[in-house]
Amino acid sequence: MPIASQISMVPVVVDDDKCIAEKGCRTCIDVCPLDVLWINEDTGKAHMKYDECWYCMPCETDCPTDAVTVNIPYLLR
Amino acid sequence: MNLPDDISVKDVDVLIIGGGTAGPMAAVAAKEKNPDASVMLLEKANVKRSGAISMGMDGLNNAVVPGHSTPEDYVKEITIANDGVLLQKGVMTYAENSYEMIQKLDNWGVYFQKDETGEYDMKKVHHLGTYVLPMPEGHNIKKILYRRLRRHRVIVENRYQAIRIMKDSEGNACGCISINTRTAEIYVIRAKSVVMCTGAAGRIGLPASGYLYGTYENPSNCGDGHSMAYQVGAELTGLECYQINPLLKDYNGPACAYVTGPLGGYTANSKGDRFIECDYWSGQMMMEFFNELQGGNGPVFLKLDHLAEETIQEIEHVLHTNERPSRGRFHDGRGVDYRTKMVEMHISEIGFCAGHSASGVWTNEKGETTVPGLYGAGDMASIPHSYMLGAFVFGEICGANAAEFAAERDFAELDVDFITAERDRILAPMKRTDGIPPSQFEYKVRRLVNDYLQPPKVTKKMDIGLQRLQAMEEDIQYLYARDAHELLRANEAQHIYDCAKMAAVASMYRTESRWGLYHHYVDYPETNNEDWFCHVQLFKDDSGDMVCKTRPIDPYVVELDDNEKNAYAQMRVQQAG
Ligand SMILES: Cc1cc2nc3c(=O)[nH]c(=O)nc-3n(C[C@H](O)[C@H](O)[C@H](O)COP(=O)(O)OP(=O)(O)OC[C@H]3O[C@@H](n4cnc5c(N)ncnc54)[C@H](O)[C@@H]3O)c2cc1C
Ligand code: SF4
Ligand code: SF4
């Protein structure tokens, strides 16, 4: 059965310049109730890996460097 | 016989599943009851920010505070709102413990709004009594609960999804099988009693936006607990009494009449007229909402544009910083300002939720399910309209009772065959190399729910819906997950699938209409008290089929006058009618 890979506009954006994941921070990843934020293997920074977001905002509120912005998912806007 | 090496096992006296609202309270209560007991709180997300109250709460929707109402008043109100079908004893137990729980939380540092004299600043939103207590600065509630968990040395396990409850040879609950959502490792917890606090089944229907996670409920509450209870042989009740809420269109969060109502806001039709007497969420109110949406006066709006600037600022402060804080962004994106525009509303997807409605796993006034040693609290259980405070009260009751139950028991012997078979079943989607993505399977189930099972309910439609769902049983063997996260979604999708079938089976069983829109059955438009003044219990029978039976309503502890019984039936504002 063939699998297609689709692009998706993700609601949560991390500012790589502000993110301090390389210092061991995992706060946003820890608090997300849907476990959709992960470390990006290429950049070492946090990013939204799965487009499965409740726009609930713990990730943004708890980030120590204000690196996270939660946007409303496109389908709802 | 020992378990294979790839399965780890842990023994605890009391296991609590779900660390949102009821769960942390249950864990603390179990420890308070028996400080020597080992108590584990197992959570699919992270207890620091999980569940419905992850960012705080706008207020207590059902506070029974002396001087404002009595437990008897409250029991009456909820009896009427539920068309008489409820376990009054359970609601009474809640009501009698409500005030004590508020004081407990207050002592712990949860902030509730008080008036100039230092008394709780109660607001009237319900049809008859006064039960709403605002908590505009309620952001820190999860932190406060977390501190309590630490203080009581509760063992917290985050990122584990419970998948099956285990039963011993005598039929008692004896733990659960879970999976790490990041590593896909199977983790068995053997326990002497189990409390389920897994929240509502909020991912059964599809939100109007089509976004799978744009649900009213926190989407981590997808019905795992409902499915687990069903699979282990517990009875569920009132599933045909769906949860359907009036929400902001597309945003799908509360509008929220409980906050804006006491400040002068209200639900209006497109002409700006009030059409419902009372904004308290009930099936009867939702029926009027639905009629207005469908009729020529729709859509329906939240009207605030007549309010004074300071009032609007107060509303914005609460609604845009607490509970669902991304709401302000949603409005900004569309250029909606409460000062100048009414805000479009809509109805939510269907769900099972005792917190707002009356559907869930059957529990009595002690929090016991029909399986010994298995307790349930909060949105997944069946004490109706329990909301946040009900989750706390019954969390506490279940935690204490589960600790007592555990004290009398030894650990059961592990059923190795069952556990290894479950391991194979649970992990199967990751062993495949292609197949059906969990998101597509889930979308299809939920789309069928919307097409065929949401009200107005029609037998022929529900028949087709159930058949289409049953045909999807075949697809489960093709579910394909590339990593542990997709496996989590695959397992959730199977629980959602169970819940969807339950919605159909329970709805078709009750051949009458009741609870306004929640069970608006077109083929049987009248309420039939002669045959259907009873609970409908859904369960798995000995041959593995999903079946229903009736359960008589326990004698009332508070009688209703005849003129009170219909109070909620007259929801429509007369002049707008
Ligand atoms: C948007 C919104 C607004 C609300 N506003 C109010 C209000 O203003 N006032 C009020 O009184 N009530 C309000 N409520 C209702 C109230 O929040 C809930 O009734 C209450 O919090 C439910 O508590 P709970 O413990 O049952 O569920 P939750 O607090 O949601 O917790 C359930 C937990 O179980 C976990 N879980 C689920 N499945 C599994 C599994 N398989 N394994 C492990 N863990 C699992 C979840 O991750 C979650 O943490 C609101 C609800 C919502 C959704
Ligand atoms: S919380 Fe902020 S700093 Fe920490 S990993 Fe996430 S984005 Fe980076
Ligand atoms: S908004 Fe909520 S669901 Fe979305 S990434 Fe942040 S914490 Fe996760």
Residues B54-71 have pLDDT tens digits of: 998 889 999 999 999 999
**pLDDT: is B17 or B58 the higher one?**
B17
Q: Which residue of A has its CA nearest to B323?
A: A56
Distance of CA B143 to CAs B20, B52, B140, Å? 12, 14, 5
Nearest in space to B200 (alpha carbons), one of B426, B385, B370, B396: B385
Ligand 2 centroid to Cα of residue B322, in Å, is 22
Q: For residue B431, what are its two tokens? A: 């062993």
Model confidence at B571: pLDDT above 80? no
User: How many angstroms is it from B87 CA to the middle of ligand 1?
Assistant: 22
Q: Are B194 and B402 a contacting pair, CB within 8 Å?
A: yes
User: Is B151 part of a structural domain of the chain?
Assistant: no
Output the ligand 2 site: residues, CB below 6 A. A 14, 19-21, 25-28, 46, 63-65, 67-68
Distance from CA of A16 to the nearest CA of B (A): 22
Residue-number span of the structural domain to which B332 is assigned: 246-347
Q: Is position A3 within any domain?
A: no
CB-CB contact of B350 with B205 (8 Å):
yes
User: Inter-chain contact A54–B213, Cβ cutoff 8 Å?
Assistant: yes
Range of the domain at A48: 12-72
8 A C-beta contact, residue B398 and residue B377: yes
Percent of chain B exceeding pLDDT 90 equals 90
> What CATH number does residue A54 fall under?
3.30.70.20
In a domain, B255, yes or no: yes
Q: Counting ligands in written order, which one lies closest to the CA of residue A47?
A: 2
Give the model confidence (pLDDT) of B498-507 as tens digits: 999 999 999 9
State if residue B378 touches ligand 1 by the CB under 6 angstroms criterion: yes
Structural domain includes residue A47: yes
Instruction: Name the minimum distance, in Å, from the CA of B341 to any CA of chain A.
Output: 17
The reply to whether residue A62 touches residue B49, judged by beta carbons under 8 angstroms, is: yes
Is residue B256 reached through a cis peptide bond, with omega within 30 degrees of 0 on the bond before it?
A: yes
Look at residue B402 and tell me if it is in a domain: no
Residues 5-24 of A with CB under 8 A from B: none
How would you class B133 by CB atoms within 10 Å of its CB: exposed for 0-12, middle for 13-18, buried for 19 or more? buried
Closest CA to B520 of B462, B577, B458: B458
Tell me the pLDDT band of B547, cut-offs 50, 70 and 90.
Answer: very high
Classify residue A25: in a domain, yes or no: yes
What pTM was estimated for this model as a whole?
Answer: 0.97
Centroid of chain to Cα B165: 19
If pLDDT is split at 50, 70 and 90, which confidence band does B568 have?
confident
pLDDT surpassing 70 at residue B575: no
- Residues 32-71 of chain A whose Cβ lies under 8 A from any Cβ of chain B: 32-35, 49-50, 52-58, 61-62, 70-71
Residue B342 lies in a domain: yes
Instruction: Give the residue, by CA position, lying nearest to ligand 2 atom 1.
Output: A63
Task: Note the helical H segments in B410-528.
Answer: 416-431, 438-448, 459-471, 484-509
Indicate the number of domains in chain A: 1
**Percent of residues in chain A assigned helix, strand, coil, to nearest 5:** 20, 15, 65
Q: Is residue B50 within 8 Å of B26, Cβ to Cβ?
A: no
Q: Å from A11 to nearest chain B CA?
A: 12
Measured distance CA(B15)–CA(B10) in Å, rounded: 11
Domain annotation covers residue B320: yes
Amino acid at B397: I
Average pLDDT, chain B: 95
- Using alpha carbons, select from B207, B202, B171, B173 the residue that is nearest to residue B189: B173
For A77, residues 6+ apart whose C-beta sits below 8 A from its C-beta are B250, B330, B333, B334
Residues A52-62: b if buried by 16+ CB within 10 A, e if exposed: bbbbbbbbbbe
Measured CA to CA in angstroms, residue B444 lies from A54, B226, B468 at distances of: 20, 20, 10
Task: Choose the closest CB to A33 out of B209, B214, B218.
Answer: B218
Reading chain A (77 residues) residue by residue, the pLDDT tens digits are 677 778 889 999 999 999 999 999 999 999 999 999 999 999 999 999 999 999 999 999 999 999 999 999 999 99
* B320-353 residue pLDDT tens: 988 899 999 999 999 999 999 999 999 999 999 9
Ligand at shortest distance from the CA of B384: 1
Closest ligand (CA of B245): 1
- Whether ipTM tops 0.95, in short, is yes
